[in-house]
Amino acid sequence: MTGMTTGDAFEIGGKKLTSRLFTGTGKYSSDTLIPAVIDSSGSQVITVALRRVDIGAETDNVMKHIPKHVVFLPNTSGARNADEAVRIARLARAAGCGNWIKIEVISDSVYLLPDGYETAKATEILAKEGFEVFPYINPDLMVARSLVNAGAAAVMPLGSPIGSNRGLRTREMIRILIDEIPLPIIVDAGIGRPSQACEAMEMGAAACLVNTAISSAGDPVAMAAAFGEAVRAGRKAYLAGPGAVGEKASASSPLTGFLG
C-alpha cells in the first residue's frame, strides 16, 4: 500500500491508524475503482450509507469492493430524525458492520444541513449502547459540546454543504471547535481540493473525510493519491508549528554586516 506513514499514529474508537484521510464510496462511475482509490490514498477508513448495502448480494454490492483491512464506517444517510438514525445504526451492527457509526440526521432537502439536536440525541443513545459514534454536524460550538457530553468518539463538522466541493467556507468556526473541543475534529463534507484538506490539517484537524472531490475527479485514483499526500503534508506542518503571521515585512537575511 502506498502513502502510509509510520509515525504520529492516530488512535480513535479503539483503533490505531496511520492515515488521517477517511474516504467514501458514493458517486464513483464504478465501485470497482474503490480498491485502487484506497491503495493510492493510503486511507484506512471508508464510509458507506447502510441503505446501499445488501449483505447477501453476490453482485452489485459495494461491500464486495472494500478491502478487508479497511475500517468500515457505516453511516445513517437518509435518516430524518434521531429514531431513524438509531434504528439504522442498530441494523448495521446486527448485520456485522461493527460498532463504528457515522451519524447523519438530515431533514433539510435543499442544502442537506444536519440537524444538531437530533444528532446529539442519537449520539447519546448509541454511545450508551457501546457504539463509537462519529456525528456529522454544522460547526456549532454548543452542539459540539453537547456531543462531547453525549459520549461521541469525534466531531465531524462540515467545511461547506455536502457534495459541493466548495472548500472550507466554515474555517473560522472549525478553528473554534479545534481550540475548544477535547475530541478529534474530523472535517467532513465540502472539501474540493487537496490544498483545502491540507489547510484543514494545518489548522489542527485530526483528519479529513473526502468523497465527492475524489469520486468526481477526472482521474479518481490519482486524485486520491493527491489527497493522501495533502493530508500528510498538512499534518506535518501542524506538528512543525507554523511561523507567526506579521503585518510588516521582516528580512529573512540580515541587512547589515555585508562583506567588504
Q: Retrieve residue 130's grid coordinates.
A: 457501546
Q: Does residue 259 lie within any of the structural domains?
A: no
The dihedrals phi and psi of 94, each to the nearest 5 degrees, come to -65, -30
* Residue ranges making up the domain that contains 232: 10-240
Q: Is the per-residue pLDDT at 112 higher than 60?
A: yes
Average pLDDT over residues 46-65: 67
Q: Does residue 40 lie within any of the structural domains?
A: yes
Q: Does residue 62 lie within any of the structural domains?
A: yes
This prediction has a pTM of 0.88
CATH number for 81? 3.20.20.70
Average pLDDT over residues 66-72: 84
Catalytically annotated residue among 102, 121, 128, 236: 102
175 or 107, higher pLDDT: 175
Q: Is the Cβ–Cβ distance between 86 and 120 less than 8 Å?
A: no
Q: What is d(CA 17, CA 206) in angstroms, rounded to the nearest whole number?
A: 11
* pLDDT tens, position by position, 155-189: 999 998 888 889 899 999 999 999 999 999 999 98
Give the total number of structural domains in the chain.
1
H or E segment and range at residue 11: strand 10-12
Residue 57: band (very low, low, confident or very high) from pLDDT cuts 50, 70, 90: low
Known active-site residue 64: no
- What residue type is assigned to position 17 of the chain? L
Residue 130: band (very low, low, confident or very high) from pLDDT cuts 50, 70, 90: very high
H or E segment and range at residue 30: none
Residue 162: how many other CB atoms lie within 10 Å: 20
Q: Does residue 1 lie within any of the structural domains?
A: no
Residue 73, classed as helix, strand or coil, is strand
